[in-house]
Amino acid sequence: MSLSGWGNNLSIFSNVYNPENNDEIINIILKDKISNFVTRGLGRSYGDSSLADNIISLKNYKKFFNFDENKGIIECSSNYSLGELIKIILEKGWFFNVTPGSKFVTVGGAVASDVHGKNHHLDGSFSDYVVSLKIITAEGKLYNCSRNENQQLFQATCGGMGLTGIIVSAKIQLLKLKSKFIDTQIIKTKNLKETIVKFKELNNNKYIIAWIDTTAKNEAKGRSIIFIGNHLDDGDLKFEEKKTISIPIKFSGFILNKYTIKLFNKIYYHFHKHKKKFKQSLNDFFYPHDNINNWNNLYGKNGFIQIQILIEEKDPKIIINKILDFFQEREQHSFLGSIKEFGKGNGNYLSFPNKGYTLTLELKMTEKLNEVYQEFEDLLKKHKTKIYLTKDSFMSEQYFKKTYGNYNKFKKIKNKYDPLNLINSFQSYRIGI
Q: Which residues pair with 292 in a beta bridge?
A: 245
Q: Which residues pair with 95 in a beta bridge?
A: 175
* pLDDT value of residue 203: 94
* pLDDT value of residue 114: 98
Contact 126, 270 (CB under 8 A): no
DSSP secondary structure string for all residues of 11-36: EEE-EEE--SSHHHHHHHHHTS---S
- Tell me which amino acid residue 223 is: R
pLDDT in tens, 369-388: 989 999 999 999 999 999 99
* pLDDT value of residue 182: 98
- Give the Cα separation of 196 and 267 in Å (integer): 22
Instruction: Please say if the pLDDT value at position 253 is more than 80.
Output: no
CA angle 174, 178, 182 (to 5 degrees): 90
* pLDDT value of residue 411: 98
pLDDT in tens, 306-353: 999 999 999 999 999 999 999 999 999 899 999 999 999 999 999 999
Q: Torsion-angle region of residue 165: left (phi > 0), alpha (psi -120 to 50) or beta?
A: left
Q: What's the whole-number mean pLDDT along residues 157-164?
A: 98
Instruction: Please say if the pLDDT value at position 254 is more than 90.
Output: no
- What's this model's pTM, rounded to 2 decimal places? 0.96
* pLDDT value of residue 250: 85
Contact 372, 393 (CB under 8 A): no
Mapping DSSP to helix (H, G, I), strand (E, B) and coil, where does residue 4 land?
strand
Q: For 211, what's the count of Cα atoms within 13 Å in the CB-facing half-sphere? A: 20
Q: Tally Cβ neighbours within 10 Å of residue 405.
A: 11
Instruction: Please say if the pLDDT value at position 282 is more than 90.
Output: yes
Mapping DSSP to helix (H, G, I), strand (E, B) and coil, where does residue 250 land?
coil
Kind of pairing between the strands at 277-281 and 142-146: unpaired
Contact 213, 65 (CB under 8 A): no
- Give the Cα separation of 303 and 295 in Å (integer): 11
